[in-house]
Amino acid sequence: MKKFLLYILLLAGPFAAQAQFDKLKDSVVQLYGVIMTADSLKGIPAVSVIVKRDGRGTYSNDQGVFSIVVVKGDQIEFSSVGYKTFVLNVPDTFHGNQYSIIQLMITDAQFLPATIIKPRPTREQFERDFVNTPVPDDDIEIARQNTDAAKRRVLARTLPASASEAASYYLKQSAQRYYYQGQAPPQNIFNPVAWADFIQAWKRGDFRNSN
């Protein structure tokens, strides 16, 4: 009985795979068409055609023609600056693998507030405002400020250690701990070099409260 069931499964396997492949093949659709204005029926170039399911898409060419591979039941979004966004539902009931449309886009008018440009009343006022206008720092000035010694010390105390710095510090601590394994480590309180480093750090203000 078991051999008979196994034989049936081996025979049915290829047919099931073929049926699944045919179903998937039938669901893929080549969607193509023309995107035009609703009032003058002119092709709209550079319209974004996006499949909302997975975010992929394409653009229409200079004549408004587009083509994209979709799946039956997908939602296709058409958007362009100056036009209202439209969402197309690809029907899943039609037969075939090609679906053509003529998509009309409606103009979306945007009214911006008026901007009034006036000249300076006098040349003297223009020169005064021009001289007193603050000029933002360029990249060279920003780099010079960031390389200042005092600022670098503040950044060194406040910024967290990077991954490489943390790993290096951990390895150094581990190496020092293993080096003195089985014996008492030396006390730096009697080390004159450590005292010199401490005095220099105290003079620089490394131990001041940043708050």
- CB–CB of 105/38 below 8 Å? yes
- The reported pTM is 0.45
Give the residue extent of every domain in the chain.
26-105, 123-183
- Could you give phi then psi for residue 16, rounded to 5 degrees? -65, -40
- Any long-range contacts for 14-23 (C-beta under 8 Å, 24+ apart)? none
Structure confidence at residue 22 (pLDDT)? 52
Residues 12-35, buried b or exposed e (16+ Cβ, 10 A)? eeeeeeeeeeeeeeeeebebebbb
CA 62 → CA 34, 49, 57, distances in Å? 11, 14, 17
Structure confidence at residue 1 (pLDDT)? 59
Instruction: Enter the tokens of residue 195.
Output: 């005292």
Structure confidence at residue 47 (pLDDT)? 95
- β 65-71/48-51 pair status: unpaired
- Could you give phi then psi for residue 155, rounded to 5 degrees? -65, -35
Render each residue's pLDDT in the chain as its tens digit; 211 residues: 555 445 454 554 454 444 454 555 678 899 999 999 998 999 999 999 999 988 899 999 999 999 999 999 999 999 998 899 999 999 988 888 899 999 999 998 777 788 888 776 788 888 888 888 888 888 888 888 878 888 888 877 787 777 888 888 888 888 877 777 777 777 767 677 778 888 888 887 777 765 5
CA 86 → CA 78, 81, 83, 165, distances in Å? 5, 12, 9, 52
- Any long-range contacts for 193-200 (C-beta under 8 Å, 24+ apart)? none
Structure confidence at residue 8 (pLDDT)? 52
- Any long-range contacts for 157-164 (C-beta under 8 Å, 24+ apart)? 157/206, 157/210, 158/210
Classify domain 26-105 at the CATH superfamily level: Carboxypeptidase-like, regulatory domain (2.60.40.1120)
CA 77 → CA 47, 59, 177, distances in Å? 10, 11, 63
Summarised one tens digit per residue, pLDDT across range 58-94 is 999 999 999 999 999 999 999 998 899 999 999 988 8
